[in-house]
Amino acid sequence: MRSLMHRRAFYGIGLALAALAWLLLWLWSQSPYGRYLDHGDWTQIGIAGAICAALPFGETLLPAALYVLGWVLMLGAMMLPTVLPILDVYARLVRRRPDRLALIGLVICGYLAAWLLFGAAAHLADLGLAALVRRSDWLTFNGWALGAAVIAGAGAFQFSDLKRRCLERCRMPMSFVIEHWQGRRDHLNAARLGWRHGLFCVGCCWALMLLMFVIGTGNLGWMLLLGGVMAVEKNFAWGRRISTPLGLGLLGWSAALIAVNLWGLG
């Protein structure tokens, strides 16, 4: 009975933290800096612009720090509910250890590190595409083609073997923890466990996360929808049933986007 109460409290705290991340994102989106969640230029307005002007390398460091903060809040809002099962398993495994909070924190840090690496790569790719669009007259007037390509790629990835294998690993938190929690260097292994789980999570969700760069990383409604889809896919056995309809829906969306724009061009 006590164990059940502890698990309910654990999930309650985890979901409360996710809700807090959603609240902070909403407050950010309602602020004068709301549009900068979409990777705009942080150096132009308000106190951020003043700090950029005052600090050495401010125009580089502050936007990067704010981007990381926004990305971490997005991860907390969208991905925390999807990793609660593995954190629950690990927390029960180390519940009698005096350093259990530090170990759980290291698992979370390792997990975030994998997603931060993906976020950095996605952000650089986004900047590269923006530079490409500026150099191409056709892409300047037909940016929809890049969006359609990303949406189609996300749809096709739903049918890939990589997606299936990564999802299977994410759906077995007990076996995953047992497999990766071993050795004498407990703190290093805790961070490594979180890192490896993060890599599998990136492996099954990266294509869906890229959709945020198409629809806007500041769009909380789409974030909530995508977060819910990823939570269902990862945490429920019946989640595999939505992969095919989701993939077909994304491919259909891409085809419709292409048809509408080509018809308009015609």
Handedness of CA 162, 116, 14, 184 (dihedral sign): positive
Structure tokens at 50: 């003043």
The gap between the terminal CA atoms of the chain, to the nearest Å, is 68
* DSSP sequence for 150-185: HHHHHHHHTT-HHHHHHHHHHT-HHHHHHHH--SS-
pLDDT over 70, % of the chain: 82
Is the pLDDT at 171 greater than 60? The verdict is: yes
The predicted pLDDT at position 38 comes to 60
Is the pLDDT at 264 greater than 80? The verdict is: no
Q: Could you report the per-residue pLDDT of 181-236, keeping only the tens digit for each?
A: 876 788 899 999 999 999 999 999 999 888 877 776 557 778 888 888 888 888 87
The predicted pLDDT at position 51 comes to 46
How does DSSP classify residue 97? Answer: S
107 in Cβ contact with 191 (< 8 Å): yes
Could you give the C-alpha distances from 67 to 160, 252, 264, in angstroms and in order?
A: 30, 32, 36
pLDDT band at 246 (very low <50, low <70, confident <90, very high): very high
* Closest to 111 measured CA to CA, from 59, 58, 177: 177
Q: Where are the alpha helices (DSSP H) in 136-265?
A: 137-141, 144-157, 161-170, 173-180, 186-215, 220-235, 243-265
242 in Cβ contact with 232 (< 8 Å): yes
What average pLDDT does this structure show over 91-111?
89
Structure tokens at 195: 């890192």
Structure tokens at 117: 């690496």
254 in Cβ contact with 148 (< 8 Å): yes
Residues 6+ apart with CB under 8 A from 150: 210, 211, 213, 214
Structural domain harbouring 95: 2-265
192 vs 136 pLDDT, higher one = 192
The predicted pLDDT at position 136 comes to 80
- Alpha-carbon gap, residue 68 to 74, rounded angstroms: 10
pLDDT band at 61 (very low <50, low <70, confident <90, very high): low
How many structural domains does the chain have?
1
Could you give the C-alpha distances from 123 to 17, 73, 197, 213, in angstroms and in order?
A: 25, 16, 22, 9
* Closest to 103 measured CA to CA, from 199, 192, 5: 192
